[in-house]
Amino acid sequence: MRTSSFGRCSTGELDLPENFGNSSPASGGHAYGAMLPVFLNDLRSNHHKELVEITLELEDDAVVLRNIAPAAVASSAPNASPSSSPAVGDHGGGGAIARSLSITSRIRRKFPWLRSMSSRTSVSSSESVAVVEDPVVSARNARKMRAKLERTRSSAQRALKGLRFISKSGEAREELWRRVEERFSLLAKDDLLAREDFGECIGMEDSKEFAVGIFDALARRKERKVSKITKEELRQFWLQISDQSFDARLQIFFDMADSNEDGKITREEVQELIMLSASANKLSKLKEQAEGYAALIMEELDPENLGYIELWQLEMLLLQKDRYMNYSRQLSTTSINWSQNMTGLRPRNEIQRLRRTLQCLALEYWRRGWVLLLWLVTTACLFAWKFYQYRNRSSFQVMGYCLPVAKGAAETLKLNMALILLPVCRNTLTWLRSSGARKFVPFDDNINFHKIIAFAIAVGVVVHAGNHLACDFPLLINSSPEKFSLIASDFNNKKPTYKTLLTGVEGVTGISMVTLMAISFTLATHHFRRNAVRLPPPFNRLTGFNAFWYSHHLFGVVYVLLFIHGAFLNLTHQWYKKTTWMYISVPLLLYIAERTLRTRRSKHYAVKIQKVSVLPGNVFSLIMSKPNGFKYKSGQYIFLQCPKISPFEWHPFSITSAPGDDYLSVHIRTVGDWTQELKFLFTEDEKLPSVNRRVTFGELVQMEQRGQPRLLVDGPYGAPAQDYQNFDVLLLIGLGIGATPFISILRDLLNGTRTIEELMVQESNTETTRSDESFNSFTSSILTPGGNKRSQRTTNAYFYWVTREPGSFEWFKGVMDQVAEMDHKGQIELHNYLTSVYEEGDARSTLITMIQALNHAKHGVDILSGTRVRTHFARPNWKEVFTKIASKHPYSTVGVFYCGMPVLAKELKKLSLELSHKTTTRFDFHKEYF
């Protein structure tokens, strides 16, 4: 302990200890004490020529104000004892004492941390009065002093981003105020804005109850009860809530709870503020548990059990939130710097940048490119070949170029009508996915290729039919006898009429095919298939998935008509020149074989329901018996059919169980008639009791089988995520129910981890060794249920689940808990994002964030998901996610698998390309939509 007597405070500079202003926590001093000399110098403006002597006691962790006394003007000793200094001044001893006491109180108000950690003696000018503090109060004052000293500049800067009452926006405050003025003009009555309309006026129309709390807190500052305010008062309120000062916003937040304005918040007041925040974020479950979380906050901030907390304690909790949650942010610690991963990779000039861009684009699109190029070249060659053939025939003299163009288009139609079947042969594609062909053919784009061919067919039909109806038919019927004689033998020496051309076999089959294809193509468009088109009854049945599904089966009739159409050609008579059947036969037979296999297999794969779980968010899960011989990979999907609902409808669902499990499970969201009927069938039937408990890892609940509806399974079918083992690192991104394909992958990785641990135990018992590297990763030979070995190269997996409904986290709660429990090496990271809660930093979610951080630090459980996985608020910063993974895994291949709405897919694909260009990490993007 050191006692320092400061120099006299006058118009001159203060004579301070040499190292006082430069002290810092690192050097054993106190950063907060740097403000004291500044404040003392400021006293000169109000106390000219008045000298006071200040004695401070400097300890290792405290600065104690021992004494402030008037000093003698003539005294020259800078460190003279306060008791030896006569009380003199311009107005006599009494005035000096009064002034010194005034200065003392001002210093104590400005620097409340200048207090003793135990009982201290406060000495006035001529006498000492010992004040013995209560030990409990003393303990709180000590915590308060430490909290003030620990408030570093970095934490203050972070705090500036928090407690925003006005949403984060790049717009100027003046522009935001102009909008508030416009809303005031609409809402005000007699130039007065009602308390209930305050939220809508300031832009909190979705949180009116929270806005009323802000209104009341600001109104109490006027020391009168206010129910309406003028525009000028609204302006004052606006300036306060949009203040850039964190301390000002913190005071408003504190005042919202401090309803009696005593500077203290009780547990009941904390509970009210929690309920207000939960209501603003529509978190009914949190609202129900507000009392328990209020007690948690009081336990943390009021260890002395005084029954209240003060402003500084609320500030301490807010500033230390990140410290509570640091251990759960694995991505924040990267093994290699982001800048290092980019070193030497930035192109030096435009030519190099262009070359690198072209290289990355070629790497990304070469598989799609060669397939499309091959198809285009083949289509063009067929058109040119048929065009050239008919250009040199006698019929060209009669019908001109119209005929070669029509016949060239017909030849491309034959090819495309054959190719369009291949992308929907699911069993064949599933088999090819597991072969070496996946390295050269982009099987993930099968539906896109299907759509491209469909568009080419539509173009071919227009060109072919259009040329016949509008060009060569008129030329034929209006041709001169001399020209017609060149092809008369093709028409039995009888010149046809327009009517006979349309009513002949070719005409009838052609028109019928065009009509059926027009219906099928129209109902397959996005607007009709997604119910975006609103039609009056009964035409509303023409929209939706069912209309798309059934109309596509019209192509069965189209192919029959196509065979007939190609067999009755007027200008071609030799059978081997009628090539339609040559194009169509093999793909059509393959498709028919697939449908036959599907029918027979579904009867063999009839399953029994073992468990039904009704989950929040209109979701239910089915756990079914696993059919004999049914083998699948994580990420694949199956089709389900319930004959009791419809004997024709099959619907796809991702498998959420792992290949090693002895059951099948799917999670189904009720978004259509079929899923609603299926849920009703399995949950409302008295013979099939609903099980509301969550599915846990490996748990099976037997159900009564008598009277159970029949459920047929077809599959499994390949999906992009099934190839996850081909990547070093996995980035799995699911939106809402789109998380289901990745749950199976997480389960499979857990099974792999458990198998490795079991093998390690066995080898340890037999005194064999294994390298740490193979144990610390999934890269090992793992036994599959069939006894075969498979090689895994995946070392890390990152799962991001983004949803709008808090209840969604109940779907896979058991799986997430077991990942946290079993993944001792931290190879699987789970990140939940709830977009319905206001983003972190918004005042409406600040208290929820604080409770979340505190509860997670104390109990290791998230308050929203009920799991060990922390829930983030708002949407992820995807660029930050990608860059951190790139910096953590340089020279690795990251498989990015996404399942959700198409909008986000574009952003993720763009980031995958961008980061692959700029870093040594390659991001391989795959998507599937629901």
Query: What is the CA 921 to chain-centroid distance, rounded?
Result: 22
Separation of alpha carbons 528 and 542, rounded Å: 8
CB proximity list for 503: less than 8 A, separation 6 or greater:
none
pLDDT > 60? residue 332? no
Average pLDDT of span 829-854: 84
Residue identified by tokens 């009168």 is: 224
Dump strand ranges (E) for 209-260: 228-229
Average pLDDT of span 820-848: 81
Query: What is the CA 685 to chain-centroid distance, rounded?
Result: 37
Separation of alpha carbons 718 and 425, rounded Å: 11
Separation of alpha carbons 405 and 412, rounded Å: 11
Dihedral, 748, 754, 755, 756 alpha carbons, nearest 10: 110
Mean pLDDT: which of 56-60, 323-327, 702-706, 807-811 is highest?
A: 807-811
Average pLDDT of span 645-656: 87
Give 496's DSSP letter.
Answer: P
User: Given this model, what pLDDT does residue 155 score?
Assistant: 53
Average pLDDT of span 333-354: 50
Separation of alpha carbons 104 and 418, rounded Å: 95
Between 406 and 60, name the one with better pLDDT: 406
| Confidence tier at 418 by pLDDT (50, 70, 90) | very high
Which of 724, 615, 606 is closest to 667 using CA atoms? 615
Average pLDDT of span 724-753: 85
pLDDT > 70? residue 691? no
pLDDT > 70? residue 754? no
Is residue 640 a contact partner of residue 711, using CB atoms and an 8 Å limit? Answer: yes
How far is CA 718 from each of CA 429, 453, 587, 633, rounded to the nearest angstrom?
Answer: 7, 21, 20, 8
pLDDT > 70? residue 696? no
Separation of alpha carbons 227 and 681, rounded Å: 54
Is residue 665 a contact partner of residue 653, using CB atoms and an 8 Å limit? Answer: no
Separation of alpha carbons 746 and 249, rounded Å: 43
User: Given this model, what pLDDT does residue 827 score?
Assistant: 80
3-state class (DSSP) for residue 827:
coil
pLDDT > 80? residue 242? yes
3-state class (DSSP) for residue 620:
strand
Average pLDDT, the chain: 76
| Confidence tier at 490 by pLDDT (50, 70, 90) | confident
Average pLDDT of span 432-461: 89
Mean pLDDT: which of 37-46, 73-82, 833-842 is highest?
A: 833-842
pLDDT > 50? residue 532? yes
Mean pLDDT: which of 2-6, 132-136, 338-342 is highest?
A: 132-136
CB atoms within 10 A of CB 210: 23
Share of residues in the chain with pLDDT > 70 (%): 72
Residue identified by tokens 């311009």 is: 90
pLDDT digits (tens, 9 = 90+) for 99-125: 554 555 555 444 444 443 333 333 343
Residue identified by tokens 């049945």 is: 541
Phi, psi (rounded to 5 degrees) for 696:
-110, 165
Rg (CA), the chain: 39
User: Given this model, what pLDDT does residue 680 score?
Assistant: 87
pLDDT > 70? residue 283? yes
CB proximity list for 407: less than 8 A, separation 6 or greater:
386, 387, 389, 390
Is residue 272 a contact partner of residue 829, using CB atoms and an 8 Å limit? Answer: no
User: Given this model, what pLDDT does residue 343 score?
Assistant: 44
Between 690 and 563, name the one with better pLDDT: 563
pLDDT > 70? residue 69? no
Is residue 664 a contact partner of residue 655, using CB atoms and an 8 Å limit? Answer: yes
pLDDT > 50? residue 21? no
Is residue 564 a contact partner of residue 509, using CB atoms and an 8 Å limit? Answer: yes
Separation of alpha carbons 39 and 211, rounded Å: 37
| Confidence tier at 137 by pLDDT (50, 70, 90) | confident
Average pLDDT of span 73-99: 42
User: Given this model, what pLDDT does residue 31 score?
Assistant: 36
User: Given this model, what pLDDT does residue 322 score?
Assistant: 61
Is residue 465 a contact partner of residue 501, using CB atoms and an 8 Å limit? Answer: no
Separation of alpha carbons 894 and 426, rounded Å: 26
pLDDT > 70? residue 35? no
Separation of alpha carbons 186 and 206, rounded Å: 18
pLDDT digits (tens, 9 = 90+) for 612-629: 888 888 888 899 888 888
Between 775 and 259, name the one with better pLDDT: 259
Average pLDDT of span 542-550: 83
3-state class (DSSP) for residue 919:
coil
| Confidence tier at 87 by pLDDT (50, 70, 90) | very low
User: Given this model, what pLDDT does residue 410 score?
Assistant: 94
Q: Which helix or strand (DSSP H or E) is residue 656 part of?
A: none
pLDDT > 90? residue 412? yes
- Structure tokens, 419: 């190719």
Separation of alpha carbons 918 and 886, rounded Å: 10
Average pLDDT of span 849-858: 82
Q: What is the pTM of this model?
A: 0.69
pLDDT > 90? residue 515? yes
Is residue 523 a contact partner of residue 535, using CB atoms and an 8 Å limit? Answer: no
User: Given this model, what pLDDT does residue 919 score?
Assistant: 85
Is residue 47 a contact partner of residue 39, using CB atoms and an 8 Å limit? Answer: no
Please compute, for residue 722, the number of CA atoms within 13 A of its CA located in the half-sphere on the CB side.
23
pLDDT digits (tens, 9 = 90+) for 557-582: 999 999 999 998 888 888 888 889 99
Separation of alpha carbons 822 and 868, rounded Å: 12
Give 275's DSSP letter.
Answer: H
CB atoms within 10 A of CB 346: 11
- Structure tokens, 233: 């008062």
Separation of alpha carbons 747 and 750, rounded Å: 5
Separation of alpha carbons 637 and 743, rounded Å: 12
pLDDT digits (tens, 9 = 90+) for 138-152: 777 777 777 666 665
Separation of alpha carbons 316 and 312, rounded Å: 6
pLDDT > 50? residue 14? no
pLDDT > 80? residue 130? no
Average pLDDT of span 49-58: 60
Dihedral, 670, 673, 677, 679 alpha carbons, nearest 10: 0
Between 384 and 705, name the one with better pLDDT: 384
Average pLDDT of span 489-508: 88
The order of strands in the sheet holding 922-929 is: 871-873, 828-834, 796-803, 729-735, 893-900, 922-929
**Going by DSSP bridges, is the β-strand pair 637-641/712-717 parallel, antiparallel, or unpaired?**
antiparallel
Length of the chain counted residue by residue: 930
User: Given this model, what pLDDT does residue 422 score?
Assistant: 92
